[in-house]
């Protein structure tokens, strides 16, 4: 089975078999690994065996004690770094080899999540946005499954919310998701027509509190900014320009080609992939020159990734962003990023000092993520 732990060997193989891809990967990434070692005292070995021994469906450990101790005493870490964006991740063999979620665990997670969400429905103001939320100066944009309103505590001059009709953010059909995106893009046009100085659109969805949402009720946020884009999309423009200057090529094309060569890309014509430098668990990136609002195939892949994450991988909290080119900006693509933000039932946060100021420490193997998405029938 493919694993991020063998990605260096895979890159070496490409050097012989596909030199062009090898060169592109090396233009963008630095990939290395190291093994950390430790000694487990004999008094602690039984405990380690219980904690880390691989188990069968009945919970019986299927490895010998020596195998478990050897695995724990020598841990391989793969380090990935994107030379243009400065993003980087650490993958530990111990974390990456965790078993997947079983069907009954999956059902239990969804049941608990639905109960938690249901309990917040009473008195929910977002269930009645026209009564309990402010509107923009030009009024509201009404979709079939959602309606916009102004954000009461604005991030920026133009900062609004799409209140989805459904309370439960983990439940949505393709038509609903498609409508949420269309409503956001209609709002972008409306703002731009109202004030031509505001030309950089940004669509974001914080699903549940773990992902930064203030309310349980399903909603996305829409922003338009002037002068320059938000910090991270703006920095990507710099990376794009520099890459073009040094290599004469399109950074986003090559970023996709790298992941495709590494067998981390979607099995469709849409340019999407499980990132090898994920900001956090299961980061998925889709790049498109076409507006997602005008492309059924892009929307379908966004839907497939989200539904696979929720229904197959047990994701209960996620962020989704659509970073857009400015109105009339010719060469820059739309970039869609999706990331799992961890279980809503755990109080620990997924970002520590390493993620903020070092490299992202990652448990989920991108090879497991792409396998799940490609096998998922939405
Ligand atoms: Zn509600």
pTM across the whole model? 0.95
Ligand 1 centroid to 317 CA: how many Å?
A: 17
- CA of 254 from ligand 1 middle (Å) equals 42
E strand intervals along the chain: 29-37, 74-82, 88-92, 146-150, 158-164, 198-207, 219-226, 271-274, 284-288, 318-323, 334-340, 360-362
Separation of 168 CA from ligand 1 center, angstroms? 7
Distance in Å, CA 122 to ligand 1 centroid: 8
Contacts of 167 (CB under 8 A, 6+ apart): 117, 120, 121, 124, 126, 127, 216, 217, 218
Ligand 1 centre and the CA of 118: distance in Å?
9
Expressed in angstroms and rounded, the spacing between residue 217 Cα and the centre of ligand 1 is 4
Instruction: Give the residue among 83, 100, 13 at the shortest CA–CA distance from 276.
Output: 83
CA 53–ligand 1 middle distance (angstroms): 43
Enumerate the H helices of 168-320 as residue ranges. Answer: 174-194, 231-247, 251-261, 296-307
pLDDT of residue 96: 63
CA of 280 to the centre of ligand 1 (A): 28
> 347 CA to middle of ligand 1, Å?
23
* CA 163 / ligand 1 centre spacing (Å): 9
Measured in angstroms, how far is the CA atom of residue 116 from the centroid of ligand 1? 12
Cα torsion 93, 96, 99, 103 to 10°: value is 180
Q: What is the mean pLDDT of the chain?
A: 95
Distance in Å, CA 338 to ligand 1 centroid: 23
Distance 319 CA to ligand 1 centre (A): 19
Q: Tell me the C-alpha distance between 264 and 284, whole Å.
A: 10
How many angstroms is it from 209 CA to the middle of ligand 1?
Answer: 14
Reported as type and span, the H/E element at residue 72 is helix 65-73
| Whole-number pLDDT of residue 58 | 83
Distance of CA 140 to CAs 144, 205, 316, Å? 13, 19, 29
pLDDT at 212: 95
Find the 215 Cα to ligand 1 centroid distance in Å: 8
271-274 vs 318-323, strand pairing mode: unpaired
The alpha carbon of 23 and the centre of ligand 1 are apart by a number of angstroms equal to 51
Q: What is the dihedral of CA 230, 233, 238, 243, to 10 degrees?
A: 180
How far apart (Å, rounded) are the C-alpha atoms in residues 283 and 275? 6
> What separation in Å is there between the alpha carbon of 352 and the centre of ligand 1?
31
What's the rounded Cα separation, in Å, for the pair 138 and 39?
66
pLDDT digits (tens), the chain, 378 positions: 789 999 999 999 999 999 999 999 999 999 999 999 999 999 999 999 988 888 887 888 888 889 999 999 999 999 999 999 999 999 997 876 666 677 888 889 999 999 999 999 999 999 999 999 999 999 999 999 999 999 999 999 999 999 999 999 999 999 999 999 999 999 999 999 999 999 999 999 999 999 999 999 999 999 999 999 999 999 999 999 999 999 999 999 999 999 999 999 999 999 999 999 999 999 999 999 999 999 999 999 999 999 999 999 999 999 999 999 999 888 899 999 999 999 999 988 999 999 999 999 999 999 999 999 999 988
The pLDDT tens digits of the residues spanning 235-277 come to: 999 999 999 999 999 999 999 999 999 999 999 999 999 999 9
Helix then strand then coil, % of the chain, to nearest 5: 40, 20, 35
* Beta strands 146-150 and 158-164, pairing class: antiparallel
What distance in angstroms lies between residue 167's CA and the mean position of ligand 1's atoms?
Answer: 4
């Amino acid at each position: 089975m493919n694993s991020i732990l063998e990605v260096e060997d895979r890159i070496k193989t490409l050097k012989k078999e596909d030199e062009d891809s090898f060169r592109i990967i090396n233009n963008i990434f630095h990939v290395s690994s190291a093994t950390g070692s430790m000694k487990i005292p004999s008094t602690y070995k039984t405990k380690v065996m219980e904690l880390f021994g691989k188990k069968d469906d009945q919970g019986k450990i299927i490895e010998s004690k020596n195998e478990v101790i050897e695995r724990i005493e020598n841990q391989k870490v793969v380090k990935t770094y994107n030379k243009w964006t400065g993003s980087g991740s650490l993958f530990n063999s111990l974390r990456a080899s965790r078993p997947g979620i079983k069907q009954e665990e999956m059902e239990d997670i969804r049941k608990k999540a639905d109960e938690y969400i249901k309990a917040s429905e009473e008195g929910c103001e977002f269930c009645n946005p026209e009564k309990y939320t402010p509107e923009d100066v030009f009024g509201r944009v009404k979709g079939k499954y959602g309606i916009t309103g102004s954000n009461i505590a604005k991030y920026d001059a133009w900062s609004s919310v799409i209140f989805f009709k459904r309370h439960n953010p983990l439940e949505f059909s393709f038509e609903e998701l498609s409508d949420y995106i269309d409503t956001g893009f209609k709002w972008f046009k409306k703002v731009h027509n109202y004030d031509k100085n505001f030309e950089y659109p940004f669509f974001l969805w914080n699903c549940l509190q773990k992902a930064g949402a203030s309310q349980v009720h399903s909603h996305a946020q829409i922003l338009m900014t002037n002068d320059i884009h938000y910090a991270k999309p703006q920095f990507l423009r710099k990376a794009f320009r520099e890459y073009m200057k040094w290599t004469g090529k399109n950074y986003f094309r090559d970023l996709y080609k790298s992941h495709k060569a590494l067998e981390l890309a979607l099995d469709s014509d849409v340019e999407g992939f499980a990132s090898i430098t994920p900001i956090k668990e299961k980061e998925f990136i889709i790049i498109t020159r076409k507006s997602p609002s005008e492309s059924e195939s892009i929307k379908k892949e966004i839907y497939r990734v989200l539904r696979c994450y929720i229904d197959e991988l047990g994701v209960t909290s996620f962020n989704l962003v659509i970073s857009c080119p400015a109105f009339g900006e010719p060469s820059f693509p739309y970039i869609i990023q999706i990331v799992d933000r961890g279980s809503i039932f755990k109080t620990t946060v997924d970002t520590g000092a390493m993620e903020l100021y070092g490299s992202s420490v990652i448990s989920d193997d991108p090879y497991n993520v792409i396998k799940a998405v490609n096998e998922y029938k939405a």
